Amino acid sequence: MKLGIIGLGKMGANLALQALEKNIHVVGKARSKKPELEEKGIKIVENYTDFVSFLDKPRIIYLSLPAGYTVDSVLQEVCHFLEKGDVIMDGGNSFYLDSIKREKELWQKGIYFLDCGTSGGLQGARHGGCFMIGGRDNGVKIVEPILKKLALNEDAYIHTGGPGSGHFVKLVHNGIEFGMLQAIGEGLALLRQSNFELDLAQIFKNWSNGSVIRSWLVELMEQGLREGPNFQKIESYIEDTGEVDWLIQEAINKEIPIPVISQSVMELFKSRTKESDTYKAIALMRHGFGGHPFGKDEHISNERKTSRIYKI
């Protein structure tokens, strides 16, 4: 098996390393040299001619790029080197209507474009992710053997349906994630401000073992409290790339009430103007699963404005 990965940031690099360990030959294309990946056996190239020539037909390419115009720019460039039957997966958090549009344009050239919702954070990319893939059946069948190898287990891979469905399902997933983060953060704030002397890390460890609310986020909360930065010094300001805002707009258009998810986004906005244990806890968990920064980040802030092309 051979896989091409365009974009070797934190997610793309970890996915490449996992693929290599599972006997998938990887060629990567990035804007800068990656000696730490080349030392592990990942082939890094600087141009699309070398990139494409390394791959067997039908070529399988995974994009690990920020959503928005970057995806369109890369698609324009790489398509000149591809042929009918080749497959491109967008593994980022693109807006699902953008993905539908891109799929139509590439299919006119006979190239499969698949929207691949990818979850599991950095740990999932490195050791076994969760994939929600949308697109034409024949294209999906080409990439299935690779994605099933890279998935945590057989249930961590699903073909959700036609073009756009993978990124739509991932969008809903991200909305649920926001609601869960908010609830856990509020619980942490209540525990910290109680009249009891509580071992918070131990409590979250307890909740990770057999409780109704056991989850990876609860585990990350425990890990962050034990191993993370001094909780008092964590900035409450939470950055995000804005995808869950799209979900709220979708719900309004369809008149579907989603008060918990909507309020979690409002609380995220408030984190940028107000100090709170709740927001610090959310920042700690987000850093745990995705390496998201503490405090302001100009690059991520800009992504909120540029990551969606299609306007409703």
Q: Report, as residue numbers or ranges, the catalytic residues.
A: 170, 177
Q: Where are the alpha helices (DSSP H) in 29-136?
A: 35-38, 48-54, 69-79, 96-107, 121-127
Residue type, 46: E
- The span from the CA of 226 to the CA of 241, in Å, is 28
- The span from the CA of 79 to the CA of 102, in Å, is 12
The pair phi, psi for residue 281, each rounded to 5°, is -65, -40
- Give the DSSP H/E element, type plus range, for residue 303: helix 298-306
- Side-chain-side CA neighbours of residue 44 (13 Å): 18
Distance between alpha carbon 21 and the CA centroid of its chain, in Å? 21
Residue type, 14: N
Q: What is the DSSP letter of 231?
A: G
Q: Is 55 left (phi over 0), alpha (psi -120 to 50) or beta?
A: beta
- Give the DSSP H/E element, type plus range, for residue 195: none
Beta strands in the chain (DSSP E): 2-6, 25-29, 43-45, 60-63, 87-90, 112-119, 130-134, 157-161
Q: Does residue 258 sit in helix, strand or coil?
A: coil
